[in-house]
Amino acid sequence: MAQIYDVLLVRHGESEANAVGRFASHSWDPHLTPTGHRQADDLAEQLQHAPIRHIVTSPLLRAQETIAPLAAARQITPVILPDLAEVNLGQWDGQRLADLEQAKSDAFEAWRRDPETNPPPGGESIGTVGRRVLKTLEEFVTHHEPGLTVAATHADCLKGVVLVVTKASGPAARTLFVPNCGQLMLRYLVAFRRWALVLAPLHFPDETP
């Protein structure tokens, strides 16, 4: 069988930025809310029987706090991968979504239609995000033992990965919704140097005898 590496991407739980409807990438590093912490605990319980070998995380607090209960339960020290960080939102970093919607600037409306062709002023395109996430994951898994890697990251990181793997256009990002602690399974096929989406139920039964 060809060598494969599986990665479960997980969006962080509800953050203080999510709760108040603000963008946060570089100017603000919010914590999880109490709801977010409960979601993190639920994630650890959901994955309690998963065959996890590695845990990696975005450097941002909301991702680290999300993965902490799982890491503690499995006694695995998370590895911080800077390129799992949130999309660079440029001039919109720290602003309230409602304010940007009300202003109805041409740049914001164009980004809403197609975040690939029209990234935030001074920020990243959705494709750039997906490529950097896949590159850092490829570098990590191919230098570690095969097995399931759980990666805590952000919504646009998951969306960007889907677009890059499926070779979809930028507007397709607006058809994707990633809830807090939403998950996406990836598989890296070494022989083909290619990522694939894994369409499988994320249920790991207890196989303890």
Spans of all domains in the chain: 4-21+32-88+125-197
pLDDT confidence of 175, banded at 50, 70, 90? very high
Longest dimension (CA), the chain: 61
Structure confidence at residue 202 (pLDDT): 62
pLDDT averaged over every residue in the chain:
94
Structure confidence at residue 26 (pLDDT): 83
pLDDT of 208 > 70? The answer is no
Structure confidence at residue 106 (pLDDT): 95
56-88 residue pLDDT tens: 999 999 999 999 999 999 999 999 999 999 999
pLDDT of 207 > 60? The answer is no
pLDDT confidence of 1, banded at 50, 70, 90? very low
Average pLDDT over residues 156-161: 98
What is the distance in angstroms between the CA of the first residue and the CA of the last residue of the chain?
27
pLDDT of 105 > 70? The answer is yes
Structure confidence at residue 206 (pLDDT): 59
User: Any idea what DSSP says for residue 188?
Assistant: E
- Tell which CATH architecture fits domain 4-21+32-88+125-197: 3-Layer(aba) Sandwich (3.40)
11-57 residue pLDDT tens: 999 999 999 999 998 889 999 999 999 999 999 999 999 999 999 99
Long-range contacts of 185-188 (CB under 8 A, 24+ apart): 185/6, 185/7, 185/8, 185/9, 186/6, 186/7, 186/8, 186/9, 186/137, 186/161, 187/4, 187/5, 187/6, 187/7, 188/4, 188/5, 188/6, 188/7, 188/137, 188/138, 188/141, 188/142
Report helix, strand or coil for 125. Answer: coil
pLDDT of 125 > 90? The answer is yes
Structure confidence at residue 74 (pLDDT): 97
Q: What percent of the chain has pLDDT over 90?
A: 89
Structure confidence at residue 27 (pLDDT): 85
